[in-house]
DNA sequence: CGCACCACAATTTTT
DNA sequence: TTGTGGTGCG
């Protein structure tokens, strides 16, 4: 009897807690009320994933595990239970809460600052000021926060600086120069990507050496050396690049279990957004943190994985269920964003991909307008067409800011900009030169970095003669040589330059510089940040140098520097404990999209990649042509093509009401006139959902083209065309012990094969990539038998 | 030391 | 076509 009361109490409790989230649908509610253990939320585009994430956190904070636990707090009497079950009282914290979770024990990780801010804002409105204590951060800023506390355990100063992609590029270039290597064979960017890949596999320079130093390829052996020097240089400079932030956090956790256990104990709940875009390190970070209490919730959409080229492994989301045992999976498939036609088009396009979890979005929204595919004569016609449509939308009472133009590459934005200008349409381009990438901003920020960390040679070199103070190239070279010979930071040598015979003659120029820096360092201890910055501009002579020569460029540079001052001041008012490195952290982890301003009424232009997570009433996707979108490099490569298609899916699902795709019969690209067929993606949209107009190539030509394409595919490719629906046959094809070649991981041997509900889990030992767990249906697309 | 000129390359880029 | 980066000269 007693048990019956308890049971009905527990049931009523879940129901009533659910009722406190009246705006959620049943499935969303299920996700919100699931509090314990691993949870995978497959959230289609526009399905309200941020709502689910934030409400789930709100539920944890208010009711703890009550919604799906059997626990009944002892202080609740039988009478209270009965009254609760029968009555229509709302659930009070006293009756319904079971160990509510303190906000600081929840970590919610996103990829962009923008997403983190949105999360914070929405949490703020749900749970009030408690939201402040939730760790709602990006991967990188979470790592920074941890490392600011414990970097010394790895031998770094806790005041380490962060190198951005430009910084690391110049480090790499100087290494290549010093090793006397050819930058055609050793392309700096490629090398950096390789170092990222190495660290993604958690390989230290030593590990890397062990693996590749015996390699027959001399370039690989050289790479070992380069990695070692690169790592050493950053370490000595007390600097970390973006990848280091993740890599070192993992290392910290591995080498110092006490630190790991501190955070494991702290974080009762770990939530990860955009899980499909995580790389191996991010996966490790998430799972290490979650190991403490086993409560990990990831949200993602395998169909929106578009960052493979940056190291994201779609396998993370595809394998989540295998990696976290007892995982519950919830699919959010109801779309609240787009009209029926838009959604149908998105579904149709993405269904051409093989390696997916499989999801079909649906909506109760109206059909809306059919999509439009317009084939322009050339890129100017295309741009003008878009401009006209935007004006039409505006005249219909919309705002300019309801319109977004998306393209595959930034180079495409130019003609569109002209068209906007010509037609008097206010617009903004995202992803151009970022504020913090401007030279003058980097200069003054370098001063701030040096104040904080004078051992940062790279930054010292940047400012040593900016503005010109007579320290010439030879002087700098000599000093660098001495510093290298002495094994000391450059700044140390500069400071004592008069003690070195070979440097004495430069000393008269150098000492005023070092004195100035030392003075600024002293000032930094007492002055507030904005005052320090003003002193810096003055004492360094930087401001003066900009004002001296009165050119348009210098004027805008001066304005930019002043804007930075404004940024510093707003940082100071927004931060609880403003500090120099707090500000520099924020700047280092800042991206262009963060300055995204919705308030001004401008049409926006950006790449499809940058558009992820955003939505607009009217979306224009331009340059929808073979060899632009899909790009040339992806044609003939199934995996790449699927990524392009996912990008297309992302682009389509940005639209709430109207979607226009455009292609041009002829276009000037890179100074050459080319003519491309309309993209295959336009053909993948059913005719009932799309209107086709403009200078379409004759139907016959399109068919011929498609036929030629598929012929080529049949001709070139073996296993990629396998039909995955014939899964049993697919499974039969492989067995343990088979040698396979994987497009991404290279060759390997199947160690085991376990059938799992119509699919199979493969364990493959790859020669270079090590052991991987892969789902057969997915892997088969990328893999063939040797 | 700074500027001008030429060669070169050009997916996408959450931090 | 456009932007960038390296080189060489004034």
Q: Helix, strand, or coil here: A72?
A: coil
Report the C-alpha gap between A605 and A609 in whole angstroms: 12
**What mean pLDDT is predicted for residues A178-184?**
80
Query: How many Å apart are CA A491 and CA A514, to the nearest integer?
Result: 8
Which has more confidence, A396 or A88? A396
CB contact at 8 A, A603 and A429 = no
Report the largest interatomic distance among the alpha carbons of chain A, rounded to a whole angstrom.
96
Active site annotation includes A551: no
pLDDT digits (tens, 9 = 90+) for A239-290: 999 999 999 999 999 999 999 999 999 999 999 999 999 999 999 999 999 9
Name the nt closest to A509 by C-alpha to C1': B1
Report the percentage of chain A scoring pLDDT > 90.
51
pLDDT at A712: 64
Distance between CA atoms of residues A461 and A441, nearest Å: 15
Nearest protein residue to B9's C1' (by CA)?
A: A670
Residue A522 CA, nucleotide C9 C1', distance (Å) = 43
**Strand C contacted by A165 CB (< 7 A):** no
pLDDT confidence of residue A648? 97
Q: Which residues contact A516 (CB under 8 A, 6 or more apart)?
A: A539, A540
Residue-wise pLDDT tens digits, A456-467:
988 898 888 888
- Which comes out higher in pLDDT, residue A487 or A33? A33
Find and list the nucleotides of strand C having atoms within 7 Å of a protein beta carbon. Answer: 1-2, 4, 6
Per residue in A349-381, pLDDT (tens digit) is 999 998 788 788 999 999 999 999 999 999 999
- To the query of whether residue A28 is one of the catalytic residues in this protein, the response is no
Q: Which residue has the tokens 């927004």?
A: A574
- In this model, does residue A411 exceed pLDDT 50? yes
A450 CA to C7 C1', in Å? 30
Q: How many CB atoms lie within 10 A of CB A1?
A: 6
| Residue A764 backbone dihedrals phi, psi, to 5 degrees | -120, 135
Estimate the crossing angle of helix A165-178 against helix A218-236, to 10 degrees.
120
3-state secondary structure A399-462: CHHHEEEEECCHHHHHHHHHHHHHCCCCEEECCCCCHHHCHHHHHHHHHHHHHHCCCCHHHHHH
**A173 CB closer than 7 A to any strand C atom:** yes
pLDDT at A726 over 50: no
DSSP A98: B
Question: Rounded CA gap, A403 and A412, in Å?
Answer: 17
Residue with tokens 């979607």: A659
Q: Find the catalytic residue in A200, A273, A402, A644.
A: A273
To the nearest whole number, what is the mean pLDDT of chain A? 87
Separation CA A568–CA A519 (nearest Å):
21
Catalytic residue among A13, A14, A29, A49: A49
Distance from CA(A403) to C1'(C6), angstroms, rounded: 41
* Across A747-752, average pLDDT: 81
Spatial strand order in the sheet of A403-407: A427-429, A603-607, A403-407, A616-621, A655-664, A371-376, A690-694
Structure tokens given for A246: 């993740």
Q: Which of residues 660-679 of A touch strand C (CB under 7 A)?
A: 668, 670-671
pLDDT (0 to 100) of residue A269: 96
| Contact (Cβ atoms closer than 8 angstroms) between residue A35 and residue A64 | yes
Report residue A229 as tokens. 């020097």
Strand C and A474 CB separated by under 7 Å:
no
Please determine, for residue A732, whether its predicted confidence score (pLDDT) is greater than 80.
no
Distance (Å) from CA A173 to C1' B6?
A: 21
Nucleotide nearest to A173 (CA to C1'): C5
Determine if residue A37 is left, alpha or beta; phi over 0 gives left, psi from -120 to 50 gives alpha, anything else beta. Answer: left
Confidence class for position A310, pLDDT limits 50, 70, 90:
confident
Beta bridge partners of A427: A603
pLDDT, tens digit, 9 for 90 and up, residues A543-570: 888 887 777 777 878 888 888 898 899 8
Average pLDDT, integer, range A712-716:
50
pLDDT bracket for residue A474 (50, 70, 90): confident
Judged against a pLDDT cut of 60, whether residue A649 lies above it is answered with: yes
Question: In this predicted model, what pLDDT tens digit does every residue of A577-635 receive, in sequence order?
Answer: 889 989 998 888 877 666 666 778 999 999 999 899 999 999 999 999 999 999 988 88
| Backbone torsions φ then ψ of A231, nearest 5 degrees | -60, -40
Catalytic residue at A50? yes
Query: What pLDDT was estimated at residue A400?
Result: 94
pLDDT, tens digit, for every residue of A396-409?
Answer: 999 999 999 999 99
The answer on pLDDT for A415 being more than 50 is yes
CA-nearest of A223, A228, A32 to A126 is A32
Other Cβ atoms within 10 Å of A420 Cβ, number: 24
Q: Which helix (H) or strand (E) covers residue A485, if one does?
A: helix A473-486
Which of A431-435, A555-559, A755-759 reaches the highest mean pLDDT? A555-559
Q: Output A203 or A93, whichever has higher pLDDT.
A: A203
In Å, what is the separation between the CA of A445 and the C1' of C7? 28
A49 is catalytic: yes
Q: Is the CB of A433 under 7 A from strand C?
A: yes
Q: Is the pLDDT of residue A441 over 60?
A: yes
Whether residue A731 has pLDDT greater than 80: no
On the question of pLDDT at A136 being above 80, the answer is yes
Residue nearest to nucleotide C2 (CA to C1'): A670
Question: A8-53 pLDDT, tens per residue?
Answer: 888 889 998 989 999 999 999 999 999 999 999 999 999 999 999 9
Nucleic strand C under 7 Å from the C-beta of A155: no
Rounded distance in angstroms from the CA atom of residue A472 to the C1' atom of nucleotide C9 = 17
A168 in active site: no
Q: Is A278 a catalytic residue?
A: no
Measured CA to C1', what is the nucleotide nearest A415? C1
Q: Find which nucleotide's C1' atom is closest to A115's CA.
A: B14
- The whole-angstrom separation of Cα A178 and Cα A494 is 21
Lowest mean pLDDT among A242-246, A261-265, A309-313, A780-784: A780-784
Q: Measured CA to C1', what is the nucleotide nearest A114?
A: B14
A433 pLDDT higher than 70: no
Taking the C1' atom of every nucleotide in all shown strands and the CA of A670, the nearest one is C1
Measure A565 CA to B6 C1' (Å).
38
Smallest Cα–C1' distance to nucleotide B8: which residue has it?
A184
Q: State, as a whole number of angstroms, the distance between the CA of A172 and the C1' of B8.
A: 20
* pLDDT tens for each residue of A656-690: 999 999 999 999 888 888 899 999 999 999 999 99
pLDDT of A722: 31
Nearest CA-CA partner of A441 in A326, A302, A564:
A564
CB atoms within 10 A of CB A647: 26
């Amino acid at each position: 009897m007693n048990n019956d009361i308890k049971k009905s109490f527990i049931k009523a409790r879940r129901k009533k807690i659910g009722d406190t989230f009246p705006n959620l649908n049943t499935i969303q509610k299920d996700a919100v009320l699931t509090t314990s253990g691993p949870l995978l939320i497959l959230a289609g585009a526009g399905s309200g994933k941020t709502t689910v994430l934030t409400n789930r956190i709100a539920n944890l904070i208010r009711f703890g595990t009550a919604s799906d636990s059997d626990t009944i707090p002892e202080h609740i009497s039988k009478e209270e239970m009965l009254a609760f079950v029968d009555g229509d009282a709302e659930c009070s914290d006293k009756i319904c809460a079971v160990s509510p979770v303190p906000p600081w024990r929840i970590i919610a990780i996103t990829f962009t600052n923008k997403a983190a801010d949105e999360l914070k804002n929405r949490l703020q409105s749900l749970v009030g000021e408690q939201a402040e204590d939730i760790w709602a951060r990006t991967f990188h800023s979470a790592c920074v926060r941890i490392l600011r506390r414990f970097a010394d355990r790895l031998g770094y100063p806790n005041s380490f600086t962060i190198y951005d992609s430009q910084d690391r590029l110049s480090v790499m270039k100087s290494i290549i120069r010093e090793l006397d290597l050819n930058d055609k064979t050793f392309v700096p960017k490629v090398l950096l990507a390789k170092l990222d890949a190495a660290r993604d596999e958690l390989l230290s320079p030593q590990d890397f050496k062990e693996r590749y130093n015996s390699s027959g390829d001399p370039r690989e052996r050289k790479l070992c050396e380069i990695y070692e020097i690169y790592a050493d240089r950053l370490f000595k400079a007390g600097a970390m690049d973006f990848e280091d932030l993740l890599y070192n956090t993992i290392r910290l956790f591995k080498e110092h279990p006490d630190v790991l256990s501190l955070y494991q104990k702290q974080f009762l709940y770990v939530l990860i957004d955009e899980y499909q875009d995580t790389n191996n390190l991010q996966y490790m970070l998430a799972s290490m943190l979650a190991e403490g209490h086993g409560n990990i919730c990831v949200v993602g959409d395998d169909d929106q994985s578009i960052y493979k080229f940056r190291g994201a492994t779609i396998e993370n989301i595809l394998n989540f269920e295998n990696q976290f045992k007892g995982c519950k999976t919830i699919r959010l498939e109801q779309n609240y964003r787009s009209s029926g036609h838009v959604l149908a088009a998105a579904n149709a396009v993405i269904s051409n991909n093989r390696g997916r979890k499989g999801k079909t979005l649906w909506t109760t929204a109206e059909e809306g307008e059919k999509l439009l595919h317009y084939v322009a004569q050339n890129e100017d016609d295309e741009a003008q067409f878009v401009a006209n449509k935007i004006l039409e939308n505006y005249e219909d009472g919309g705002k300019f800011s309801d319109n977004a133009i998306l393209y595959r590459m930034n180079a495409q934005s130019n003609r569109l900009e002209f068209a906007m200008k010509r037609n008097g349409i206010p617009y903004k381009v995202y992803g151009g030169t970022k504020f913090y990438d401007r030279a003058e901003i980097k200069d003054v920020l370098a001063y701030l970095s040096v104040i904080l960390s004078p051992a940062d040679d790279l930054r010292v070199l940047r400012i040593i003669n900016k503005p010109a103070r007579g320290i010439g190239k030879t002087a700098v070279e000599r000093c660098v040589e001495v510093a290298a010979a002495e094994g000391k930071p450059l700044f140390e040598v500069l400071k004592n330059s008069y003690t070195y015979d070979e440097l004495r003659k430069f000393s008269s120029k150098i000492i005023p510089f070092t004195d100035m820096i030392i003075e600024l360092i002293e000032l930094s201890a007492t002055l507030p940040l904005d005052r320090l910055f003003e002193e810096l501009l003055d004492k360094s002579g930087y401001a003066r140098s900009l004002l001296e020569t009165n050119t348009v460029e210098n004027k805008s540079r001066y304005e930019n520097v002043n804007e930075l001052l404004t940024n510093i001041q707003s940082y100071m008012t927004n931060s609880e404990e403003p500090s120099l490195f707090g500000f520099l952290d924020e700047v280092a982890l800042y991206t262009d999209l963060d300055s995204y301003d919705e308030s001004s009424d401008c049409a926006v232009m950006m790449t499809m990649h940058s558009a992820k997570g955003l939505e607009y009433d009217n979306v224009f996707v331009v340059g929808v042509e073979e060899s632009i979108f899909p790009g040339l490099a992806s044609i003939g490569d199934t995996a790449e093509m699927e990524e392009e298609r996912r990008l297309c899916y992302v682009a389509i699902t940005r639209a709430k009401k109207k979607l226009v795709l455009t292609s041009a019969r002829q276009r000037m690209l890179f100074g050459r006139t080319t003519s491309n067929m309309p993209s295959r993606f336009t053909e993948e949209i059913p005719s009932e959902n799309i209107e086709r107009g403009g200078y379409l190539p004759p139907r016959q030509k399109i068919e011929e083209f498609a036929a030629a394409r598929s012929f080529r595919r049949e001709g070139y490719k073996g296993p990629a065309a396998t039909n995955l629906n014939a899964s049993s046959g697919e499974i039969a094809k492989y067995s343990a012990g088979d040698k396979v070649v994987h497009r991404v991981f290279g060759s390997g041997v199947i160690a085991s094969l376990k059938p799992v509900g119509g699919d199979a889990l493969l364990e493959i030992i790859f020669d270079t990539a090590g052991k991987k767990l892969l789902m057969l249906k997915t892997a088969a697309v990328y893999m063939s038998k040797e």
